[in-house]
Amino acid sequence: MSTSERGGSRGTVAMLVDNPVVRDSRVQKAAQFLADGDWDVTLFGYAPEDEPDEFALGRARVVRVPSGQMPDVLRLRRAVAHVRNPLSYGSRDKAAFKETRMRAKVVDGAVRRGRPLEGGDLDGKDLYDRLADRAPFWTAARYRWTVKRARQTRRRSRSTGVKWNGRLEKAAVNAMRRLGVREYWRHSYSMPLAHEEAMLQEVLRLRPDVIHCQDFAPLRVAVRAKEILALAGHRAAVVYDAHEFVAGVSGHGPAWNAGLVDYERSYIAGADRIVTVSEGVADELAESYRLSRRPDIVLNVPLRFDPDSFTADGWVSPGGNTDVRADCGLGPDTPLLLYMGGATEPRGLNTLIDALDLLPEAHAALVCATGGRNRFLPVLMDRAERLGVADRVHLKPYVPFDKLVGYIRSADVGVHPLRRGPVNHEVALPTKLFEYAQARVPVAVSDCRTMAAFVSEHGNGEVFPADDAQGLAAAVSEVLADPEAYRRVYEDGGLAETYSWEAQAGIYHEIFTDLMDGRVPGTAPEQQAASL
CATH number at residue 401: 3.40.50.2000
Per residue in 65-81, pLDDT tens? 988 665 555 566 777 77
What sections of 301-348 are H helices per DSSP?
324-327
Classified as helix, coil or strand, 427 is: helix
Question: How far is residue 66's CA from residue 218's CA, in Å, rounded to a whole number?
Answer: 14
38 and 187 share one domain: yes
450 and 339 share one domain: yes
61 and 115 share one domain: no
Answer yes or no: is 316 within a domain: no
Cβ atoms of residues 449 and 416 within 8 Å: no
pLDDT of res. 160: 66
57 and 89 share one domain: no
**pLDDT, average across residues 382-395:** 95
Higher pLDDT, 499 or 185: 499
**pLDDT, average across residues 303-330:** 86
pLDDT band at 22 (very low <50, low <70, confident <90, very high): confident
Is residue 414's pLDDT more than 60? yes
131 and 213 share one domain: no
122 and 64 share one domain: no
Q: Mean pLDDT in the chain?
A: 85
Answer yes or no: is 386 within a domain: yes
Range of the structural domain that residue 120 is part of = 75-159
In the chain, how many domains are there?
3
Answer yes or no: is 88 within a domain: yes
Answer yes or no: is 176 within a domain: no
479 and 354 share one domain: yes
232 and 344 share one domain: no
388 and 448 share one domain: yes
Question: How far is residue 372's CA from residue 378's CA, in Å, rounded to a whole number?
Answer: 12
Answer yes or no: is 526 within a domain: no
Answer yes or no: is 302 within a domain: no
pLDDT band at 187 (very low <50, low <70, confident <90, very high): low
Cβ atoms of residues 343 and 398 within 8 Å: no
85 and 7 share one domain: no
Cβ atoms of residues 379 and 310 within 8 Å: no
Model confidence, pTM? 0.75
Write out the H or E segment, with its range, that includes residue 238.
strand 237-242
121 and 208 share one domain: no
**pLDDT, average across residues 264-284:** 92
7 and 58 share one domain: yes
Answer yes or no: is 513 within a domain: no
